[in-house]
Amino acid sequence: MPVKKVIEIMASSPKSWEDAAGIAVRTAAKTVKGLKSIYVHHMSAVVKDNKITEYRINAKITFDVLNE
């Protein structure tokens, strides 16, 4: 029976929420093997001078701990 674990990661990007999600996955992949999915739980943005300057996400990333 496969065993999975979920970690929560916060990431940001000056480009887009999609880019922030990619950053979250790339960052997690540096120390965690077997990534399976990402669930974007929350999105927000920083606004300065009436423009979005930073896209932020709070994501849950799932990976295999044991896969038999």
pLDDT above 80: residue 63: yes
User: What is the reported pLDDT for 66?
Assistant: 77
Domain count, the chain: 1
pLDDT digits 0-9 by tens, 10-48: 999 999 999 999 999 999 999 999 899 999 999 999 999
Q: Which residues contact 45 (CB under 8 A, 6 or more apart)?
A: 52, 53, 54, 55, 56
Please report, for the domain that includes residue 18, its CATH number: 3.30.1660.10
Token pair belonging to 49: 């001078």
What DSSP letter does each residue of 5-39 carry, written as one string? EEEEEEEEESS-HHHHHHHHHHHHHTT---EEEEE
- Full residue range of the structural domain in which residue 50 is found: 3-66
